[in-house]
Amino acid sequence: MTATDTYRRFERVDGVDETPRGLLASLHGEQLRVDVVRDDVVRVKISRGGRFDEEPTYAVCVDPLEGAPGFAVERGDGVVRLRTEALVLSLHLDPFHLDVHRPDGTPVVETAQDAQGRYWAYATLNDAFTVRRRCRHEDAIYGLGEKTGHQNRKGRDFTLWNTDVLSPDATGEFTAGRPGDDPRADPTSTEFDPYYVSIPFFYHQGHPAGGMSGSFVDNSYRGAYEFSHPEEYRIHFEGGQYTEYIFAGPSMPEILSAYTWLTGRTSPPPLWSLGYHQCRWFDYSQDAVEALAQRHRDLEIPCDALWLDIEYMDGYRVFTWNTESFPDAPGMLKRLQDSGFRVITIIDPGVKHDPGYWVYDQALERDVLCRTEGGDVYIGQVWPGDTAFPDFATEEARAWWGELNAAHVQSGLAGIWNDMNEPATGNIDPGRMRFDHGTQSHERFHNQYALLMAMGTTQGLLEAMPDRRTFVLSRAGFAGIQRYAANWMGDNVSRWDHLWLSIPMATGFGVSGQAFVGADIGGFAGNSQAELYLRWMQYGVLTPFCRNHSGIGNVDQYAWAWGQTVQDLVREALRLRYRLLPYIYATFITASETGAPVQRPLVFDYQDDPLVRDIDDEYLFGPDLLVAPVVEPGQTARQVYLPAGDWYDWNSGQRHAGGSFALVPTPMEHIPVFARAGSVIPMWPEAPATTAGYHPRTVELHLFVPATDGAHTSTLHEDDGLTFAAGEGKRYCTAFTVTRSGSRVEVLAEVEGEGYPEFARESFRLVVRGATPERVRIDGDVVELDGHSVTFANAGTGFTAELDLPPSA
């Protein structure tokens, strides 16, 4: 017997009425409501105590019912059906169960039956509830955000409860009682669960057809997803109401686009945030920070951001500086900014319980701290010792927190790093922390705490720098966190298996709506070593967020820490990232428009290929680059699966046919990277030391010649990289359509936007990779090739390039 077997199942619908948006049914003294959100999305809600909670969390950022999709209601013998162009929802009355299919009859969700034939459409006990759905043993499951293990979640169970993974006090309940050989008994294992971020959104891919459906349960209480049962999956939440958005799909990009329409998309980032970030938990002095910056410049190691961990504060009091170590923080920040460095400081939610400390006193005066049921200020144990926590569930606390952040960045900071926001409370149980002036349970807001903190932080940054895009990094999060912050993957370990783990963890984030993610390069806990660090750096430069970070007391983990050879190879890896920034930036802009991930699993683009469902050690970086990191020591070659199409080895230039495996050398100089045939990869002609003030006069367009007839589109997005002016048309967005017909290849460039003051480009350099054209024409005029490239004047206008290839190409 499982814990939910004793729950009260809802077994019979007493009546069904049609509403302007769908259906309203009565059952077991409650109401079930079906709302048509879009043709391909329905929302199903069940009341508690006869009332609906219309805003169960802060995840949804639009009015789901703002549109007016058409639907029809049909009544049959014991069933009421709601039909749209993309789905058919069947509400069976007695016994009650709810199924959704596509018009062709393929399943989206189907209620599961137990061994006695009883349906489990919904069951509840003491505010908890569960639903059970049918699946097949061969099906695949993706999503749920930041989870360990393989990207295909089938066969495993997961808990949604934001957890400080390396804190024994936080992980103890999840490791207790497990045998020593169970990997989940060890919080540092690649199977431990739960993690820092909880996103109750997943995809179910049916076998063998490959169609996908999606589910988002808008509930922030502790949740459990059981995918270990061969023929069903189970969803369980310990409180709150049942509110589920069901996505008919059938493609993963369609579902993700709809989900991120609901919960928001990653905002266009400031360009500098896509550069290289150097971070370390270390007791730096002001002089040491400036020396660290200068060493990057002296060694010609590109870098845009330096980070300060908790030691910069006065006794770990947030929004303070240790004035002995940093006697002139504003002056330091100004000098670093003049050298092209942005500086970001950590800010924890914990406020030192210290009467006389101005932040604590102000929090008491404004009544913006979490309270206990009895009305006391809740106290936990974090870095400063006794610690109080802002009540981010209230608008007043978020506004106050925003004011503090606004004042903090006025010293010259570029962004904020939110840590310890699960919330981490040390050896004090967080359960007594209550919200909304003590009226709301901890369980309702635990998983939302980081989201609400990021809301307040972003609000403050926008008030301090209203003309600047914000940058906030958060350790924890919930559905919708992507609207306000990037996520890193928390306190990882300097081990090869953690390098591997960061790949499926990042792609899981990506298909769950969070495009701006990255792991601590080299590992945070423990001592890294030369080969691991180098391989992690070669991989990390091809991830959305590129930050080197390590813990206090560890060996040095700087680019130069392992001598000249590693230093030179790290420099080359970083130079590749900086040269690729036009491509990376364009990919982020697409993510902000469609929700498409930057680092994405192969299944996102190739869900009809059964081989990709279980590939966890390679990924697509944007739409046109395939990356296969080295995840084992001493590896001199590795197998890479190349999906449909043709692919060029970035390093050797060799073309490979897709739908096949390739054995690729992995010398210490680089890891395998492939470019899609037919793509145009925009690149800077050189790697600048910093993105600050860099506006090149020439941009390279690397054309990977298509091997077969067809068309492919790529993009270049140019704007000032800092402000919101691009949203008002101050940009150039160029779409490149590459078409091959026989031995002729055409590149059609179409431009949208009205430009911007900093725009300095005067020419394109078209670099042809994969063939040597016999003749090239730009807008009808024959131009002379310089080896494999041709340079032509262009300052923000469209063009047509025509390439005549030799018959053998």
Alpha helix ranges (H) inside 146-285: 168-175, 252-263
CA distances from 509 to 200, 218, 454, 595 (A): 12, 17, 17, 12
Q: Are 387 and 377 in contact (CB under 8 A)?
A: no
Work out the burial of residue 636: count CB atoms within 10 Å of its CB; fewer than 13 is exposed, 13-18 middle, 19 or more buried.
Answer: exposed
| Coil, strand or helix at 559 | coil
Rounded Cα distance, 548 and 398, in Å: 30
Picking from 257, 599, 267, 198, the residue whose alpha carbon sits closest to that of residue 455 is 267
Selecting among 290, 422, 605, 700, the annotated active-site residue is 422
Residue 168: CB atoms within 10 Å: 10
Work out the angle at residue 409's Cα, subtended by the Cα atoms of residues 405 and 413, and round it to the nearest 5 degrees: 135
Query: In the annotation, is 491 catalytic?
Result: yes
Picking from 279, 280, 285, the residue whose alpha carbon sits closest to that of residue 326 is 285
DSSP 8-state secondary structure symbol assigned to residue 5: G
CA distances from 161 to 417, 447, 711, 779 (A): 21, 6, 45, 58
Tokens representing residue 305 in the block = 């951001």
Picking from 550, 556, 548, 494, the residue whose alpha carbon sits closest to that of residue 518 is 548
**36: β partners:** 42
Picking from 486, 696, 509, 507, the residue whose alpha carbon sits closest to that of residue 616 is 507
Q: Which residue has the tokens 């978020």?
A: 398
Q: Are 126 and 184 in contact (CB under 8 A)?
A: no
Selecting among 193, 218, 232, 419, the annotated active-site residue is 419
Query: In the annotation, is 720 catalytic?
Result: no
Rounded Cα distance, 334 and 301, in Å: 21
Tokens representing residue 700 in the block = 């390279």
Rounded Cα distance, 792 and 574, in Å: 28
DSSP 8-state secondary structure symbol assigned to residue 493: B
**How far is residue 491 CA from its own chain's centroid?**
17
Q: Where are the beta strands (DSSP E) in 500-557?
A: 517-518, 520-521, 546-548
Q: Strands 305-308 and 22-27: what pairing?
A: unpaired
Helix (H) or strand (E) holding 404: helix 395-409
Selecting among 309, 348, 391, 491, the annotated active-site residue is 491
Q: In the chain, what is the straight-line distance between the N-terminal and C-terminal CA atoms, in Å?
A: 65
Q: Where are the beta strands (DSSP E) in 176-228?
A: 197-198, 201-205, 212-217, 223-226
Which residues are identified as catalytic? 419, 422, 491
